[in-house]
Structure 1
Amino acid sequence: MVGIVVVSHSRQAADGIREIAQEMGGDARIEAVGGTEDGRIGTTPGPIREAIEAIGSEGGVVVLVDLGSAVMNAELAIEEAAVDEVAIADAPILEGALNAAVAATSPSATVESVREAAEDAADVSKV
């Protein structure tokens, strides 16, 4: 099964997004990473890499991020991670996580199909 890592500058935001996505995705494997290692707002590569490695052994990982520096730190984490297939989705973090969680539960899910499902959320109108 493809895993999902949600990366936010806020630990509370990451946990909340994970909670909502898990409700929709049921059996999806979702890790939340947020804030810096010393509890401040921000992101660092180490915890992102650890989350990728924690769930990436079977089927790869799709990473969703909130802001630009989270992309940079996720890219650094991916370079260091001992996981073969990891992709960052260019998607709104909450809506993308919901779509990814649902797509990840499919028996035929791939990193590419889960990433595409997350990115499809960019086209969804909220009003």
Structure 2
Amino acid sequence: MTAPNAPLVAAGGLDDGGLGTSYTKISEAIDEVYSEDGVAVLMDMGSAVMTTEIVIEDKDDSKVRMLDCPLVEGAVLAAVESTGGISLDELAEKIKESYNVRKFPE
């Protein structure tokens, strides 16, 4: 499974390299991968969600969306699906499948 043309940017941690969430890093990451197709933002939890909401509000751009999904599984699915040319709305729906990814058989 590869997606060499899927733009992916990590924005974790504070500006000084410490643990936490940086408004600046999130905003710059969105700008770096922005296209007319839109930007899907995946985050873990807590302050990452809150800070991302603020960044998106400040950008006032409906083409930037937070997607609720398991971070690793969602990132893989989003990268693969985005290379197929699906819309941001379609990706938001498809990403829900990442909740069902099992690492081990039941």
Q: TM-score, normalised by structure 2?
A: 0.87
Task: Tell me the SS of whatever aligns to 1:28.
Answer: coil
Listed as ranges, the gaps of 5+ residues in structure 1 are 1-22
Of all paired residues, the percent bearing the same amino acid is 38
| Greater share of strand | 1
Secondary structure at the aligned position of 1:34 is classed as: coil
Name the structure where helix makes up a greater proportion of residues.
1
Structure 2: runs of 5+ lacking an equivalent? none
Whole-Å separation in 1 of the counterparts to 2:32 and 2:26: 10
The structure with the largest alpha-carbon Rg is 2
Superposed CA deviations along residues 73-104 of structure 1, whole A, max 9, x for unmatched, are: 11111112264411111100000000000110
**Aligned AA (1:26):** P
**What are the equivalent positions in structure 2 for 1:47-126 lying under 5 Å apart?**
47-81=25-59, 83-107=61-85, 109-126=86-103
4+ long deviations beyond 6 Å: none
Q: Which SS does the other structure have where 2:2 is aligned?
A: helix
Whole-angstrom distance in 2 between the partners of 1:80 and 1:37? 19
Q: Distance in 2 between the 1:68 and 1:39 partners?
A: 18
For 2:13, the equivalent position in structure 1 comes to 35
One-letter amino acid of the counterpart of residue 54, structure 1? E
Q: Aligned equivalents of 1:76 and 1:112: distance in 2?
A: 21
Task: Write the distance in 2 (CA, Å) between the matches of 1:114 and 1:25.
Answer: 15
Shift of 1:62: 0.5
The higher-RCO structure (CA 8 Å, 6+ apart) is 1
- The amino acid that maps onto 1:106 is G
CA RMSD in angstroms comes to 1.6
